[in-house]
């Protein structure tokens, strides 16, 4: 019997659900805090390309987060794709000014990558980031478009499938290899695409058959017509909990294709990162005042009617987790037994 991680998907989910609400109203801010962001500009660094899911979330928050910060600062989005958001994470951690004016939205792979990918040379410590919030604790999917010859995951276990992926550390690449190595899918990974928007275009051109590691909320935002018509093929879903909407679509859970205790433990570890599907972070060394104000602003923004209405209009899910809870989950992941980490490290690459 293999040694299982010290956490489980159910445990991760319960941790996050416990942290969704705001604590009691904070006492009145001191005058210095009330003026902290007045007349300033906050930069949101996005670790992915323009027009992808992460970019869409960043721009949603750029329209609403400033309203929740004292002084109502301007919000500017800057895209810094590369290495599955590790480039952006490294910039914010090591190079950006530590004045409370720079935050980042990165892919979960940038947080988990240094744990499970021993070849990754990250210039940051993921356990020391200050986690401000996660906007989505969602479900990832493998999909194919209506024009694809591949319609089901079972079919993908029986015949060669071309899978589109971005570069090292990107969820599309990691999840493609994960399913190939733990579920027997006959995936041939073609990586190097700039981001999910480019992969979807390649699928429309029939250059690739399938993409994995796509957030369900992003699929709904980027291809709403296919969702409306239910013509998108959802091969499999992966999440800390099953997604009721995808269950209604008949999308199977990845665990139904994953055999053996070790493989299940590997999948559980990788999928646990979805508990913080859209993590906003700040580098250590920023002023404590900025951290408190940012965490409170995110918590308020994700309950604000204006942001929720805007998110619904563009098809984005808001399933929030507080920064404190995300911090706790990341710390627990980094305490996973080394044997399971080593197996997971091998499973997400060639």
Per-residue pLDDT at 27: 47
Separation in Å, CA 172 to CA 135, 239, 313, 327: 20, 15, 26, 24
Q: Do domains 9-138+275-347 and 140-272 have the same CATH topology?
A: yes
Query: Whole-angstrom Cα distance, residue 195 to residue 321?
Result: 25
The average pLDDT across 171-176 equals 93
Per-residue pLDDT at 24: 37
Of the candidate ranges 20-34, 101-115, 134-148, the one whose mean pLDDT is the lowest: 20-34
Tell me the per-residue pLDDT of 318-327, one tens digit each, with 9 for 90 and over.
999 999 999 9
Instruction: Tell whether the model's pLDDT for residue 26 goes beyond 50.
Output: no
Tell me the per-residue pLDDT of 57-75, one tens digit each, with 9 for 90 and over.
999 999 999 999 999 999 9
Given its phi and psi angles, is residue 317 left (phi above 0), alpha (psi -120 to 50 degrees) or beta?
beta
Per-residue pLDDT at 7: 43
- Residues of the chain with pLDDT > 90, as a percent, come to 74
Per-residue pLDDT at 156: 97
Q: Which distant-in-sequence residues (6+ apart) come within 8 Å of 62 by Cβ?
A: 44, 75, 76, 77
Q: Provide the terminal-to-terminal Cα distance of the chain, rounded to the nearest Å.
A: 26
Per-residue pLDDT at 1: 36
Given its phi and psi angles, is residue 287 left (phi above 0), alpha (psi -120 to 50 degrees) or beta?
beta
Per-residue pLDDT at 52: 86
The average pLDDT across 329-346 equals 94
140-272 topology per CATH: D-Maltodextrin-Binding Protein; domain 2 (3.40.190)
Could you tell me the pLDDT band of residue 16, with boundaries at 50, 70 and 90? very low
Handedness of CA 63, 67, 70, 73 (dihedral sign): positive
Per-residue pLDDT at 29: 64
Tell me the per-residue pLDDT of 118-149, one tens digit each, with 9 for 90 and over.
778 899 999 999 999 999 887 999 999 999 99
CATH of the domain spanning 9-138+275-347: 3.40.190.150
Domain locations in the chain as residue ranges: 9-138+275-347, 140-272
Mean of pLDDT over the chain: 90
Q: What's the predicted TM-score (pTM) here?
A: 0.76
Closest CA to 27 of 292, 290, 322: 292
Instruction: Tell whether the model's pLDDT for residue 190 goes beyond 50.
Output: yes
């Amino acid at each position: 019997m293999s040694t299982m991680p010290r956490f489980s998907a159910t445990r991760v989910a319960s941790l996050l659900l416990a942290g969704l609400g705001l604590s009691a109203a904070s006492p009145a801010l001191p005058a210095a805090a009330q003026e902290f962001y007045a007349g300033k500009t906050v930069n949101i660094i996005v670790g992915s390309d323009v027009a992808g899911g992460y970019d869409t979330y960043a721009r949603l928050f750029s329209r609403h987060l400033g309203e929740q910060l004292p002084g109502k600062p301007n919000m500017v989005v800057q895209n810094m794709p590369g290495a599955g958001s590790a480039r952006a994470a490294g910039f914010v951690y090591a190079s950006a000014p530590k004045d409370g004016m720079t935050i980042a939205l990165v892919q979960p792979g940038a947080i988990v990558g240094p744990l499970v990918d021993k070849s990754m040379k990250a210039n940051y410590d993921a356990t020391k980031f200050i986690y401000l919030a996660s906007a989505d604790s969602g479900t990832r999917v493998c999909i194919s478009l209506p024009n694809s010859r591949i319609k089901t995951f079972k079919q993908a276990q029986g015949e060669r499938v071309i899978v589109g992926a971005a570069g090292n550390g990107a969820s599309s690449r990691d999840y493609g290899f994960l399913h190939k190595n733990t579920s027997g899918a006959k995936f041939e990974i073609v990586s190097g695409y700039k981001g999910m928007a480019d992969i979807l275009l390649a699928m429309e051109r029939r250059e690739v058959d399938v993409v994995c590691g796509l957030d369900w909320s992003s699929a709904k935002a980027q291809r709403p017509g296919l969702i409306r018509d239910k013509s998108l093929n959802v091969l499999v879903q992966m999440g800390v909990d099953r997604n009721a909407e995808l269950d209604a679509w008949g999308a199977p859970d990845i665990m139904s294709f994953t055999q053996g205790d070790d493989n299940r433990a590997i999948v559980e570890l990788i999928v646990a990162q979805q508990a913080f599907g859209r993590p906003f972070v700040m580098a250590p060394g920023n002023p404590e005042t900025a951290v408190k104000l940012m965490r409170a602003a995110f918590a308020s923004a994700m309950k604000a009617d204006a942001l929720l209405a805007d998110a619904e209009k563009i098809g984005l899910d808001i399933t929030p987790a507080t920064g404190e809870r995300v911090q706790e989950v990341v710390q627990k992941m980094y305490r996973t037994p080394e044997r399971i980490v080593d197996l997971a490290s091998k499973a997400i690459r060639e």
